[in-house]
Structure 1
Amino acid sequence: MGFLDKIFGNKPKPPVRVLDHPAKLNAGDMLTLDDSFALPPQLRGQQLKVERVSCYEYERSRHAEWLLKGRDNQPVFMMLEQDDEELLAFSIKLTRAEVEQLFNLDEFAQIFEQPGNVTLKLQGDARSHFPELAQWLADEYHQVSFATFGYFHLNDYRLMSPPAAQGDAFESYCLDSADEQRSVEIEVYESGETDVMLTLYRPLTDIRDFWPGASQSL
């Protein structure tokens, strides 16, 4: 067969790409989430496309971030969190107006002050103002990290190291709920831009299906 392949120009087919874990997701791939009511409406039963794979780089680690979009075109960010088990960390960004109505701003400002052990409480009427955020929110959060320095890279650096001291420099702050299933994450960039995100931690089994995109790279 090898001799005939040379004559007729037949080339061996590339290996079929196996997409069976979120860590393997590339831009253009799609995933379908469970339709359980344990998930908020932004995630429940949604088919989401990977728009981009980015990278968070810290002193001793780096982590991929997947930008996902569904039918409503609203961005959802996904990372993998390793604790006692591997978890999906889904995040959505809050507007300044949402932050102002969800939290007491005097308490919120203390997050950025030493010693960095703030307890942040959800304002009493917050869920009634933002019912679409109800499942993302905890009643109370406690600060677990203070001014952790890192770089954000728009490119995918899962298979190689990012360029030294490049990317967008930031300091991150994190507050966790008592059950560690939800968090508030804040990134303050050198430009002064500040991103505030609500994060929800879920089991890997919430992803029901994977759909490889056009790219067949392994």
Structure 2
Amino acid sequence: MSFFKSLFAKKQPVTTRKLSHPNELQIGDIFTFSDSFALPQAMRKQQLEVTEINTIEFKHEHYAQVVGQGSGAQLVYISFPKNPQRLVKFSLLLTRQEVESLFDLGDFSEIFEPPGSARLKPITSQHDYADMVAPEYIQQDFMTTGYFHQEDYRVSTPPQFADEKHGREFEYYSLEGSQGQRGIDIFIYENGDTDVYLSFFRPANEIAELWIKGA
């Protein structure tokens, strides 16, 4: 009897995942940037594979950071902090040499001095990231505590209790320019490691195509 039941039982439809927004990307998925001249060369028309999905956590908010890599070594970071326009944050991680070429280090060091009211101007417009850089930045965050998780918590909450595994604690410093459309994000970890991101906000449709892994 069980044989006939299994033979004539209705097959359940295979659930296929659909992508309608970059915040739905999973590891192994592919995304392609548009050919918009608002994008820097490191992103324009580039096709990237999602290699990591991390979570950045602050006291009242946490959001995903999707890491994409194309044919070269340059990584592109897209993240989804809350903002009224629902824009996506696109970021590139700067090397120390790139920071030195963009900003006066004396001015840059004022970001880490209390009360955290630095104003920063680039020293050149001749660089690969010209479309991402604001004419002037004004500091917003100073020594804000947060956690970096190498986990995806988009549908759950990061660990909240002392006996649970936490991410890497960091001090966060940020600056904004161009009416909040451009930014500098700095994460200083407990061991002294420092990440400096050049960021800008754009509509989600700057990512022109999304592909599911294996599709």
Is the structural similarity TM-score above 0.5? yes
Q: What is the CA distance between 1:117 and its match in structure 2?
A: 1.1
Q: Given the alignment, which residue of 147, 153, 159 partners 1:157?
A: 153
Q: What is the CA distance between 1:9 and its match in structure 2?
A: 7.5
Distance in 2 (alpha carbons) for counterparts of 1:161 and 1:86 = 21
Q: What is the CA distance between 1:8 and its match in structure 2?
A: 6.2
Aligned residue identity for 2:109: A
Distance in 1 (alpha carbons) for counterparts of 2:43 and 2:82 = 21
Any gaps of 5 or more consecutive residues in structure 2?
none
Q: What is the number of equivalent residue pairs in this alignment? A: 210
Question: SS of the counterpart of 1:111?
Answer: helix
Q: What is the CA distance between 1:71 and its match in structure 2?
A: 1.8
Does residue 127 of structure 1 match 2:133?
Answer: no
Distance in 2 (alpha carbons) for counterparts of 1:90 and 1:80 = 9
Q: Which residue of 2 aligns with 1:209?
A: 209
Does residue 52 of structure 1 match 2:48?
Answer: no
TM-score by length of structure 2 reads: 0.90
Check whether the contact 1:144–1:175 (CA below 8 A) recurs between aligned residues.
yes
Distance in 2 (alpha carbons) for counterparts of 1:117 and 1:48 = 37
Q: What is the CA distance between 1:175 and its match in structure 2?
A: 0.4
Per-residue CA distance 1:184-214 (angstroms, 9 max, x = gap): 1111100101111100111112121110114
Question: SS of the counterpart of 1:67?
Answer: strand
Aligned residue identity for 1:107: D
Q: What is the CA distance between 1:32 and its match in structure 2?
A: 1.6
Distance in 2 (alpha carbons) for counterparts of 1:17 and 1:73 = 29
Q: Which residue of 1 aligns with 2:27?
A: 27
Q: Which residue of 2 aligns with 1:141?
A: 137
Per-residue CA distance 1:78-137 (angstroms, 9 max, x = gap): 0023322111111111111111221111111111111111101111xx232x2x121121
Distance in 1 (alpha carbons) for counterparts of 2:213 and 2:15 = 15
Aligned-residue CA RMSD (Å) = 2.1
TM-score by length of structure 1 reads: 0.89
Check whether the contact 1:176–1:184 (CA below 8 A) recurs between aligned residues.
yes
Question: SS of the counterpart of 2:87?
Answer: strand
Distance in 2 (alpha carbons) for counterparts of 1:201 and 1:139 = 16
Distance in 2 (alpha carbons) for counterparts of 1:4 and 1:29 = 40
Distance in 1 (alpha carbons) for counterparts of 2:38 and 2:138 = 23
Distance in 1 (alpha carbons) for counterparts of 2:7 and 2:154 = 40
Distance in 1 (alpha carbons) for counterparts of 2:32 and 2:14 = 26
How many percent of aligned residue pairs carry the same amino acid? 40
More off after superposition, 32-41 vs 79-88: 79-88
